[in-house]
Amino acid sequence: MAQMIKTSIGSAAKEILVNLVGSTLESVSGPGLPSYLISPRIFVSASTGNVELFGDVEDSPIADFEGVMSTLNVDVALREEVELAKTQGNVYRQKSGMVITSVRVIRETATCTNGGSLNWVYESDIGILLVLSGGFLVVSKLGQHDEALKVQFLDEFNPMIVERLDSYFESDLIQNIVYSREVVTI
């Protein structure tokens, strides 16, 4: 029987994100967030409050794969941590002043077949897409096996703009791995 694995954000995280809809984007910051916009913790500040997006890792549940899998997590950001990141100069205001009109999840599915038989399917929420009144803000995982997140401020969006994640899952002579993506409104 094929193994089905999902690492998706939960209902509490979705509720936090949905509460951003209708608010005005103020800034993106993070502890140690450099100008190339990659960090394990990202703060999105809006007129209704602050949200923290952070990466984490957990042991892989996939049989015959010893390693870790990355997860994308969402929580309410502590005001003190956001202020500290801002006072350290790790704040970016591109697209500030724009209204957040909707929030979406970027989901990637890796399907592994072995000799034509389905071996496993790994479905993972790899990014959060904030649709703005004049563009897009994307916070996405950098890889399937690490904690790093990447921020992108965009004028146009399609799911393939988010670069293919670094992954140990590659096709070889025995197994074939196919990737697909979808964007889901929450």
pLDDT under 70: residue ranges of the chain:
165-167
Q: Convert the pLDDT of each residue in 141-184 to its tens digit.
A: 988 778 999 999 999 998 888 877 666 777 888 889 999 999 99
How many other C-beta atoms lie within 10 A of the C-beta of residue 85? 24
Copy the structure tokens of residue 26. Answer: 């103020």
Strand, coil or helix: 88:
coil
179 to 160, 161, 170: CA distances (angstroms): 11, 15, 10
pLDDT of residue 128: 97
62 to 66, 70, 112, 145, 177: CA distances (angstroms): 8, 13, 11, 13, 14
Q: Is the pTM of this model over 0.75?
A: yes
